[in-house]
Amino acid sequence: MKLNFFEKLIGSGFYTGYVPFAPGTFGSLAALIIYLIPGFENLYIILPAILITFIIGIPIGTRFEKVYEKEDPRYCTIDEVTGMWISLILVPKSFIPVTAAFLLWRIMDIIKPYPARKLEDLKGGLGVMMDDVAAAVYSLFFVHLFLLIFT
């Protein structure tokens, strides 16, 4: 069993999943670069992008698990792309807020506070995606709390 070009390109977050170290961070960075495209922060663009990557991420995550014979393989970073974008919803597009969102997202993705860690137990691509969605919701909350306090 092999991944086709589309599955590999999208599932690995534009091949960031194949970076030999910190693929999740590189996948998040790729998502951040896309976010920096003028207009991408518009809710009519970012919300459908999140929904599409989430929906596509479930079967692609399942395929990555089958191909690599491992749960949530490091090569699959579409979940980090989705999580990064969730973390950036309604975040002002300037250096400090975007950097705070990126750092908070990486922290939440790594520590996976409850129930994010538990959601990893879901089977297949749903588990691949849902733990990152939960971690991203925490990140989104904390970045907006940060903005409320410091701006």
The total of structural domains in the chain comes to: 1
How many C-alpha atoms does 90 have within 13 Å on its Cβ side?
10
Q: Does residue 128 form part of some domain? A: yes
Helix (H) or strand (E) holding 105: helix 95-111
Two tokens, residue 148 = 């409320």
Two tokens, residue 146 = 């940060």
- pLDDT, residue 43, reads 98
Q: Which tens digit of pLDDT belongs to each residue from 49-97?
A: 999 999 999 999 999 999 999 999 999 999 999 999 999 999 999 999 9
Q: Does residue 17 form part of some domain? A: no
Q: Looking at the predicted structure, is the pLDDT value of residue 142 above 90?
A: yes
- pLDDT, residue 1, reads 81
Q: Does residue 15 form part of some domain? A: no
- pLDDT, residue 138, reads 97
What is the DSSP annotation of 49-95? HHHHHHHHHHHHHHHHHHHHTSSS-TT--HHHHHHHHHHTTT--SSH
Average pLDDT over all residues of the chain = 96
Q: Does residue 92 form part of some domain? A: yes
Q: Which domain holds residue 121?
A: 5-10+22-150
Q: Which of 87, 79, 91, 122 is nearest to 103 (CA)?
A: 87
Q: Cα(74)–Cα(17) distance, rounded to whole angstroms?
A: 6
Q: In degrees to the nearest 10, what's the CA dihedral of 90, 92, 98, 104?
A: -50
- pLDDT, residue 38, reads 97
Q: Does residue 126 form part of some domain? A: yes
Two tokens, residue 40 = 């991408």
